[in-house]
Structure 1
């Protein structure tokens, strides 16, 4: 739901404004709590929304490991498998590369889009859902490609395209590194380290997944009731180690409940994290632009670069909204 995504993103932007205003020194939304004068801890927010909330969800649904592990059989692809998956891999890579550049779940969209394309072009679409290798090779290639290209808007524009990239942006900001147009020139060593890590990471995935897949499957035998206390312990250690603040642990617990409530009512938590990251940056640069233009909002359409970016944003918004409006109109006219 586009409306729910916008609502959660606005909530994240408001949470990002908590603390002391840099320009006026006024406390905002702190409710007299001293620990909130520096704002909400990004680590506590992320751990609560994605870690603790997932544990609460699983425990509430009583999802437990059954202990039944199906033998995985042959791991390496045969020559016929390689022949059948070559086309889907190439198409999936192209689709994923394009979707990875888009803001919001690019990886998920690329996966579903690739699956749909492969089913459309397949000579035997009835095999999809029953082990067709094209239905696995295409979406997986699209997902991997989207994961790589989603770094482009983050490292060049400072815009995280999904929740994972928002976590990356937050991690950089914790270390005093601001992703954006100057990132490559200001941090060339880190930039090329990120590029190298993609190659090294993919090679290590091959080394870890293929020979050791049997080991990872055995992890399914561990009952979840033994895993979640360990997960919570590591979350608390990570949260406390950032600022040595027990208040952040309670903050993470609160956002764990909020994240659980969001998922229960079909609200995606990722836009909240993106709004939390981008909100303060938007406010800071908006106020800077207002000061430079002496309060004239027309400056945003008078400058060619600013006007071009605003038009691109409007086009992307229209592309996102129009299918939803079209679907509603067709539903109304059908009734």
Structure 2
């Protein structure tokens, strides 16, 4: 198949591109335009998997470029988005432009070109703090940050094209994905990079919130499963591990995995505003399992430990760690 992946230069996008290439697809990778021609994380992929890789540099906010990039593609995985929650407090308009207008560009081009499947990427942040657990797809959506609000809007734009024009759209809603290549704005790389750099006093924000963490390989498998599932058309589907753990306990587990004793220090600049903090995320993956047979390989405490070990090993490689600034707060 000819497949387009938007946001291909990012963390999850680069892993999904790699998985699709290994599966035998021709992949057109849509990366954010830059003047030095960087492909982001795709630059680090082994040459052995790049034979069917085509890279285009552009901007998801440009409808003409999006249409050109999508021409000739059978499936589209739409991952391009601004995702950093703290930055959405500072630049909310850019989140509306990129996440909502960018999604509109994708589904309109898919409609015009007759693309056979669009998988739009949502986020568990659209649920806000859990009102009941485990969180099913019927849970109310609550925008507790400008980022979350923009993703709610993007999800509804995507689904409206299914309802209005029968554009073949599915919405995958991953819970917190982690793994190699993730930005240090996320909590797990924040901890691991500080430890790998030799620090034992780790600076974090709130420790009590819980998260449902998914190893990136499981998230990529969910994308591929939903793309081939006709009953998922017009639906929102969670990709969750069905496992809940607090940020504080996650930090302790990372210390165990990396065989170090950690001291956690509260860093006020890393704290979200009180009404914006999502205090509990614990997802239900029943629908995805029923529709596709998908299940997390890295589920439960044992799976989380294995995923953390692989992630820590990658970040501990000096060549990889050199790409980060351990201990520096990334907005």
**What range is the shorter-chain TM-score in?**
under 0.3
More strand by share: 2
TM-score (norm: length of structure 2):
0.21
Greater relative CO (CA pairs within 8 A, separation 6+): 1
TM-score (norm: length of structure 1):
0.21
